Amino acid sequence: MTMKQGVAKERADEKLVMDAGDIARALTRIAHEILEHNKGVENLALVGIRTGGVHLAHRLVKRIQSIEGVHVPIGELDITLYRDDLALRKNQPVLRKTSVPFDLTDKVVVLVDDVLFTGRTIRAAMDGLMDLGRPGEIQLAVLVDRGHRQLPIKATYIGKNLPTSREEKVQVLLEEEGEDDRVVIAKP
């Protein structure tokens, strides 16, 4: 099923929250905010958290490139080994590769993820980053902040604030994964 940019048909089992156009505009704004907050690209690096954050990080890097003409270093972080629930799981989750091919020391690292929820993923991501080097500063960019934090973690850059109930499932679906760009709340 093909769709024109900005025109999304709502499916029976989903509630549409952001369509492709909303996502694009949010990412553009975040890119500008990152550059404004850090006064340019000096010492800047982006690290996407697998899997959703990685695609979004790549899109942000492209936008920054078209604004400032500079390709900012980008890494991909798998936080599985740093999860706080490994001891409790019967079957260990599948590992994916971490690839951060540059020195983190003294850099301003912007972690990128699709949905910020309890904050545990970000906590794990920070531990993972620390094991890879000593960043000068860590900031956080998320497409959707849906509340219900269980740890004292705050995003620096937010695409959309989305009030939800705990039981709802928020999904960010992206072209890179073969879906039409959209953010939905899946109906139970």
Partner 1 sequence: MSLKRKDLLSLAPLSVDEIKLVLDTADSFKEVTGREIKKVPALRGKTVVNLFFEPSTRTRTSFELAAKRLSADVINFSPSSSSVVKGETLLDTARNIEAMQADIIVLRHSSAGAAETLARGVKSSVINAGDGWHEHPTQALLDLYTIRERGLGFEGLRVAIVGDVSHSRVARSNIYALTKLGAEVRLVGPPTMMPWGVERLGVKVYSNMDEGLCGVNVIMMLRLQLERQGRALFPTIREYARLYGLTAERVKLADSGAIVMHPGPINRGVEIAPDVADSLSSVILDQVANGVAVRMGILYLMSGAG
Shortest approach of partner 1 to residue 136 CB, angstroms? 17
Closest separation between CB of residue 134 and partner 1, Å? Answer: 10
Binding of residue 101 to partner 1 (CB under 8 A): no
Residues 115-134 that bind partner 1 (CB under 8 A): 127, 131-133
Does position 12 bind partner 1 by CB under 8 A?
Answer: no
**Nearest distance in Å: CB 114, partner 1:** 22
- Cβ proximity to partner 1, 66 vs 91, nearer residue: 91
The reply to whether 51 sits near partner 1 by the rule CB under 8 A is no
DSSP state string for the chain: ----TT--PPPTTEEEEE-HHHHHHHHHHHHHHHHHHTTSSTTEEEEEETTHHHHHHHHHHHHHHHHHS----EEEE--GGG-TTGGG-SSPPPP---B--S--BT-EEEEEEEEESSSHHHHHHHHHHHHH--BSEEEEEEEEE----SSS---SEEEEE----TT-EEEEE-GGGTS-SEEEEEP-
89 binds partner 1 (CB under 8 A): yes
Nearer to partner 1, 1 or 88 (CB): 88
Binding-site ranges for partner 1 (CB under 8 A): 78, 80-82, 86-99, 127, 131-133
